Structure 1
Amino acid sequence: MISKEELGKLIKTARETKSKEIGKRYTQKMLSEEISKSQGYIGDIESGRTYPTLVVLGDIAVACGVSLSFFSDIEKQIDEYVAVKLGDYPAETQEIVKDYIRTGNERLDFLGGQEQHDIRLEGFPRDKEANAAYSKKDLQEAFSVSSMSKIPILGTVAAGIPIYAEQNILGFEEVPMSLVKNGEFFFLIVQGDSMIGSRIFPGDKVLIRKQPIVESGQIALVLVNGDEATLKRVKYLDGTAILYPDNPSYEPMIYPVSDIEIIGYVAQVIFNPNEKK
């Protein structure tokens, strides 16, 4: 398995390759803007502090004009892994498992470790006779080769009072793959009632699409003064960002644009059926 440090060096090499092609430096900042990620995130990847998801790695490959195999022969790794784990299984079974791992890379990060795949494989019948009776449909259901994707649920965010943005993962929510295929997403659980005018209530889960820019008037998750997170409708006026609540009980918050950081916008709200609306 390729290490974070080795992968980071390869991504830096890919940027340098792009620089030669375009005849000028292709910086981390330029790459981050092209794939809609922060420059700090690209820096963390190149320095070996974190693994990118396969989706991000694919975006980097496209931006730098290289193939995905430039970074690591992912297909070979998957083939070898399945051969070791399911060497006695029919080819059709192995292909279904490979398909699952490929489609699941975004949430299980095959580059970063295979423990979660190992857990899923423990449920497979181990002898050939039992395996022969294990139908293709059974395999597809067992390995979730479907149109669903698991999205992490992060710690709560107060819609009325800002709280720290750094949160632990509380669990996962399955959503249609079509809803989250373009971008990086996560859920946050709402606390506070400042956005009830937009039918966002305490206990609801908001699906956030990560991106550093939103259009004026969109509801976004915003970092204020670098360390406080708030859910508000963002409007821009003369170099300032006005964070509007959708509740007349709260006043708008006004900041210089340089004092806020957009984390992402609200793509969908999943209502809490136990909360009285």
Structure 2
Amino acid sequence: MIEIRYSSEVQTAKAAGQAIVALESTIITHGMPYPQNVEVAAQVEQDIRDAGAVPATMAVMKGVLHVGLEPDQLQALGQAKGVAKISRADMPACIATGGTGATTVAATMIAARLAGIEVFATGGIGGVHKGAETTFDVSADLMELAQTPVTVVAAGAKAILDVPKTLEVLETQGVPVIAYGQDSFPAFWSAQSDIKAPLRMDTPDKIARAHATRLAMGLPGGQLVANPIPADAEIAAAELDPVIAKAQSEADQQGISGKDVTPFLLRRIFELTEGRSLTANIALVRNNARLAAKIALELNKLAQ
């Protein structure tokens, strides 16, 4: 049996039938240093509360799946060393061996499904890495979206990825990709791109209805809601593209591959933008949390 432990806040919310939004924990353990990581995580949780829903940050701690973290647990996770970054493949092993792991997009979706939570807010999803035609480096996030019934709100796919190929895989897997309030697929740190989104919806209630309709039709998988970064926080693609290209070139020259690619690129982009990429990242995560809360509230209405 899997032991699932709910925070007191999430337990109360479930009993009262309140709207709940799932959050990942890799932003805490692998996204930024302490204490900024804990401060940002707490801020994102508060954004969800302010929007009328309840946050549930997911993590595996000593073999127990936690759905929602108490403040002291959030602090402990933020200061912990050597925390595993878990996805679909290694999440069961982490639980079975009594390990501690921070949840990625795929693992958070699995945890949300186990907890009966239908909406999840993150920064950006993983996808097809550049050069995947030779490395076959494709994130498990895409397959999770194809089979786990959770609506994921993100600012698109991370801009360091091959976004057209990422969208192709999502289309092949039958995953609805919905741009919120615009026609183009947002480019993570930039609100706009030259890629047209497959679908567009302008209100949270329509997104909630689409989620409920998929369930009613018996279709597997969830939805990706691509929510553009607020205009006052974005970094224009014209400025960012050469920075990403430089970071990618350095990774290639140093022979960096596999799971090491994304953290290397994000660190170099942070350095090359003098920290602006992280500031933008925090803004987009908070923006996604607010939209996810609105969608969760609309889903709650439909269920009543």
Q: What is the TM-score with the length of structure 1 in the denominator?
A: 0.26
* Greater share of strand: 1
Structure number with higher relative contact order (C-alpha < 8 Å, ≥ 6 residues apart): 2
